Amino acid sequence: MKSWYSAMFLVVVLALTGCVTGLASAQKPEKKYKVTHTRAEWRKLLSPEAFDVLRDSGTERAFTGKLLDEHGKGVFVCAGCGQELFSSDTKFDSGTGWPSFWKPINAKAVDQVEDHSDDMDRTEVKCANCGGHLGHVFDDGPQPTGLRYCMNSVAMKFVPAKQK
């Protein structure tokens, strides 16, 4: 009889362990970014304004960004790591006061993450290479995608296309 109890005990323990392991693996692991720095290092690398947006998910004031009125041909890259994010070909004037694009330069350039901060349900857009916060994406953009990538100017740098 004693061994029957021992066996049942073992079964229960195994089942519980299985549940706990299952729960743990169901949670999304933190993504490992190619470019990583400590907060202290990022602080040295970035301007205070860029640090606030890229590393602390801040938002620059509307109509204050340098790249809002950038209409040249070229590529917008991450101010944190230099990864190419958006082409000038997809930039449009959304009237919101933030540089806006209807699609990223390629599917792997940015990560899109659910964001429920500030009592809003939004989709955060992050640099897929360093994890820097760039802005949010909304579904009220122009065709062909209908998307509006609402970016912070200070999170990006503009690299003009080379003249031929």
Considering only residues 83 to 142 of the shown chain, the ones binding Fe ion according to CB under 5 A are: 83, 127, 129-130, 132
Site for Fe ion in 9-38 (CB under 5 A): none
- Rank residues 80 and 104 by Cβ distance to Fe ion and give the closer one: 80
CA 23 vs. chain centroid, Å, equals 25
The two three-digit tokens of residue 51, written as one number: 């640090």
Please, what is the minimum distance in Å from the beta carbon of residue 18 to Fe ion?
Answer: 39
Q: Exposed (0-12), middle (13-18) or buried (19+): which is 48, by Cβ within 10 Å?
A: exposed
Q: Which of residues 60-79 bind Fe ion (CB under 5 A)?
A: 78
In angstroms, what is the minimal distance from the CB of 37 to Fe ion?
Answer: 11
Host H or E run for residue 92: strand 91-92
> How far apart are alpha carbons 82 and 102 in whole angstroms?
20
**Given CA atoms 18, 31, 108, 155 in this order, what sign does their dihedral have?**
positive
Q: How far is the CB of 78 from Fe ion (least distance, A)?
A: 3
78 is known as an active-site residue: no
CB nearer Fe ion, residue 99 or residue 132 = 132
Instruction: Figure out which of the listed residues 46, 53, 81, 137 binds Fe ion, where binding follows CB under 5 A.
Output: 81
State the Rg of the chain over Cα: 22
The set of catalytic residues is 150
Residues that bind Fe ion (CB under 5 A): 78, 80-81, 83, 127, 129-130, 132
